[in-house]
Structure 1
Amino acid sequence: MTSEGRLAGKIALITGAARGVGRAHAVRFAEEGADIIAVDVCRDLDTVRYPLSTSDDLALTAKLVGELGRRVATYEADVRVLSELEAAVAHGVSELGRLDIVCANAGVIAGHGLTWQLTEQEWQDTHDVNVRGVWNTIRAVLPVLRDSGGGAVVLTGSVAAYQAELDLAHHTSAAHSLDGLMKSLAVELAQFGVRVNSVNPGRVLTPLADNDELRPLFTLSTHILPVSWLDPADVSHAAVYLASDESRHVTGTSLRVDAGATHPFKLT
């Protein structure tokens, strides 16, 4: 692996990096020359009905990055806890020297059902990880980005930010909230030279969606392109663009990677 690449010389922190889209981000960013701070909780949550990542998953992400000739620092942290994220940032910057890119990617779907069937804890955990976790991530990284003169932040959202999803009101409302948070952050952080954008994917073949608990909710394909599932790398290609200097004047934008799922049309 050479030092050349669209992200050469950059250091990227990625939450939810142990598997799925987060791992794809880590690998693609490394392919483009970035060193990686890989963060994940690496334990299950009681309300999430599918297995979450493990320490072994995070170690595999680190191995894949290392095989590309890039440096990697790992840290196990819960994005719901600011102090844990602050420790992860301090560890990563100490190991790798700086921070240029932040991918707030960690997300869960805790339970499912009609709005009134969701438990209070399922609602709370989904919002705490998917929205509060992003807020905490920004709070943890901002002092470093500000001191270094700026950087790029890429949030992982969902096409649920644009539409309703049956039996997933907590996920849908969190996605709408995240889109608003992205826009507010773009305005507020511009003064520090920090760009903030989001990638909002459709149905991606990751453990979050492709599991026995949630797979039945995604049986109806609404893609207008002839593809049933998106590959995690499809999302990461978009994230590389938003993290690179190619998008140096792009901020406050949500980029849909959804095979046309949110394009207005009627099923026949």
Structure 2
Amino acid sequence: MNDKTVVLVTGALSGIGRATALAFARSNARIVISGRRAEEGHALADTLRSLGADAEFVEADVRVEEDVQALVDHAVERFGRLDIAVNAAGTEGEPAPVVELTAARYAAVFDANVLGTLLAMKHELRVMSSQRGGSIVNVSSTMGARGAAGASRYVASKHAVEGLTKSAALEAAAFGVRVNAVAPGPVQTPMLDRLTQTAERKAAFLDTVPLKRAGTPEEIAEAIVYVASASFMTGEVLRVNGGRTAA
């Protein structure tokens, strides 16, 4: 990583996306961050610049192709190329059993997690393939490799993200572009609190983690930075989950 590396982070305004943007800023990268809340986005860009990064915020909704295309084009117009893209935008949706799901509730999760990842990769690969190099890291989940009662939409969406990652990696390899995913386990973010709902449920859930705690966004960001620069890795999913999938 150097001060010439150009990084794009979607879903950068909170949790893992925010920690990732901060990690790249400390590595002296040039950074474009995106999200749907302009005030928070510009504030984060100011923070990244205070760390010495050349950073900009672009308001974008990853579910809208015109937004995604404009976001990627802006990064290239501003910095001349795109070296690393981290697709962290996503949502978990409200827990519900399969028999209570509707098409609208399905779309609310899949449009953000799957369509958003697909559109981001489409335009990131458009640029990276033409420049004959680049690295994409998608954010999956431990739930991308297992099931969870009451969370079928989220689980299925992360399975889909991992399938997209592997397929895109095979397509992009010929152009020298690598595509991987990082799959966090429970991480101390607002999403974990929403999923567990109470302190008691959260404690019981974390007791199932071999390391007996949640990860931090910063720990996942470290893994993302590593995968982004791992030059002989493509089509892989790095699971960072405190041992949740070891057994």
- TM-score computed with the length of structure 2 as normaliser: 0.93
Deviation string 1:12-48 (CA, Å, 9 cap, x unpaired) is 1110011111111100011112111101122xxxxxx
Runs of 5+ consecutive residues of structure 1 not aligned to the other structure: 1-5, 43-54
Q: For 2:93 and 2:104, locate their aligned partners in 1 and report how far apart those are by CA, in whole Å.
A: 8
- TM-score computed with the length of structure 1 as normaliser: 0.86
Per the TM alignment, residue 7 of structure 1 is displaced from its structure 2 partner at its CA by: 4.5
Which among 67, 73, 81 is matched to residue 84 of structure 1?
Answer: 67
Give the equivalent residue in structure 1 for 2:13.
Answer: 18
Alignment of 1:153-168 (within 5 A): 153-168=136-151
What SS does structure 2 have at the residue aligned with 1:220? helix
Tell me which amino acid in the other structure corresponds to 1:180: G
What SS does structure 2 have at the residue aligned with 1:230? coil
2:123 maps to 1:140: yes
2:223 maps to 1:238: yes
Q: For 1:136 and 1:125, locate their aligned partners in 2 and report how far apart those are by CA, in whole Å.
A: 16
Which among 103, 108, 116 is matched to residue 86 of structure 2?
Answer: 103
CA shift in 2, pair 1:29/1:173, >3 Å: same
Q: For 2:43 and 2:149, locate their aligned partners in 1 and report how far apart those are by CA, in whole Å.
A: 34
Alignment of 1:10-49 (within 5 A): 10-42=5-37
Tell me which amino acid in the other structure corresponds to 2:74: H
Quote the RMSD (CA, aligned, Å).
Answer: 1.5
Give the equivalent residue in structure 2 for 1:176.
Answer: 159
Q: For 2:2 and 2:211, locate their aligned partners in 1 and report how far apart those are by CA, in whole Å.
A: 30
Runs of 5+ consecutive residues of structure 2 not aligned to the other structure: none
Which among 39, 51, 54 is matched to residue 68 of structure 1?
Answer: 51
What SS does structure 2 have at the residue aligned with 1:65? helix
Per the TM alignment, residue 183 of structure 1 is displaced from its structure 2 partner at its CA by: 0.6
Per the TM alignment, residue 214 of structure 1 is displaced from its structure 2 partner at its CA by: 4.8
Per the TM alignment, residue 92 of structure 1 is displaced from its structure 2 partner at its CA by: 2.1
Contact 1:149 1:192 in 2 (8 A): yes
Q: For 2:62 and 2:205, locate their aligned partners in 1 and report how far apart those are by CA, in whole Å.
A: 32
What SS does structure 2 have at the residue aligned with 1:155? strand
Tell me which amino acid in the other structure corresponds to 1:225: L
Contact 1:105 1:155 in 2 (8 A): yes
Per the TM alignment, residue 63 of structure 1 is displaced from its structure 2 partner at its CA by: 1.8
Tell me which amino acid in the other structure corresponds to 1:37: V
Per the TM alignment, residue 206 of structure 1 is displaced from its structure 2 partner at its CA by: 1.6
Q: For 2:2 and 2:172, locate their aligned partners in 1 and report how far apart those are by CA, in whole Å.
A: 21
Tell me which amino acid in the other structure corresponds to 2:171: E
2:211 maps to 1:225: yes
Q: For 1:121 and 1:127, locate their aligned partners in 2 and report how far apart those are by CA, in whole Å.
A: 10
Deviation string 1:208-230 (CA, Å, 9 cap, x unpaired) is 2223x653465422210132x21
2:44 maps to 1:58: no
Per the TM alignment, residue 94 of structure 1 is displaced from its structure 2 partner at its CA by: 1.8
How many residue pairs match? The answer is 243
Per the TM alignment, residue 162 of structure 1 is displaced from its structure 2 partner at its CA by: 1.2
Give the number of the structure whose residues are more often helix, by fraction: 2
CA shift in 2, pair 1:242/1:233, >3 Å: same
